Amino acid sequence: MSGQEITIQGRDGAFMGYLAAPGSGRGPGIVVIQEIFGVNAVMREICDGLAARGFFALAPDLFWRLQPGVQLTDKTDGEWQQAFGLMKRFDPDKGVSDIQSTIDSLRAHPGANGKVGAVGYCLGGLLAYLTAARTDSDASVGYYGVNIQTKLDEAKTIKHPLMLHIAEEDEFVNHAAQDQIVSGLKGNPQVTIHRYPAMNHAFARVGGKHYDKACADLPNTRTATFFRQYLS
């Protein structure tokens, strides 16, 4: 199954999104929130996989204001440098606005049932948390989100279910930051947190340096069950 690039109308202008549709032509929607590498092959494959499970999966190009159409890999130092450069210039507030526009687009898509969730990785993991706090996403999931501990004051506005997957040996989120996240969110009944011992950042990125299929299968199964529960 393969998707197609579409145009999403945002508050500040139009931008590209990669959309994969279920074979049935009907189902809930999921916004797939990119890592720092753009809407690359990894994000597109995630969309295709979700479509195979019965979802409309749409990955918006959140770097469009900086450089439209970024598709980097994690295989060369040059691409890493470019990715980190884009992340440093990226405005998360604008990104969340674009995610809300993407949610709106999915809700209005022909065949969609009106329920829309979000799943994000790395930078997208932080944005998934902010999506739960600031948008009307019906259910959100973040994988190894970076800097969530700096945004814990927003936890009080989370009104829909949020699941976070934390890698306990994440090189970008130390143990103190992880403990802050767990402590800061433990009082919110909407939030579920899973921690994965011995796992490093991006352990669920297929083909990545830290990819661990056995451990990645567990959060992926939990995520699939979570979305079936809240988006059906």
Which among 61, 74, 165, 201 is annotated as catalytic? Answer: 201
> What is the DSSP secondary-structure string of 143-197?
ES-SSGGGGGGGGGG--S-EEEEEETT-TTS-HHHHHHHHHHHTT-TTEEEEEET
Dist. CA 144–CA 178, nearest whole Å: 10
HEC readout, 94-125: HHHHHHHHHHHHHHCCCCEEEEEEEEEECHHH
Which among 165, 170, 175, 217 is annotated as catalytic? Answer: 170
Active site residue 217: no
Burial of 66 (0-12, 13-18, 19+ CB in 10 A): middle
Q: Are 185 and 191 in contact (CB under 8 A)?
A: yes
Dist. CA 114–CA 111, nearest whole Å: 9
Active site residue 170: yes
For residue 224, which of 102, 55, 27 has the smallest C-alpha distance?
55
User: What amino acid positions are annotated as catalytic residues?
Assistant: 170, 201
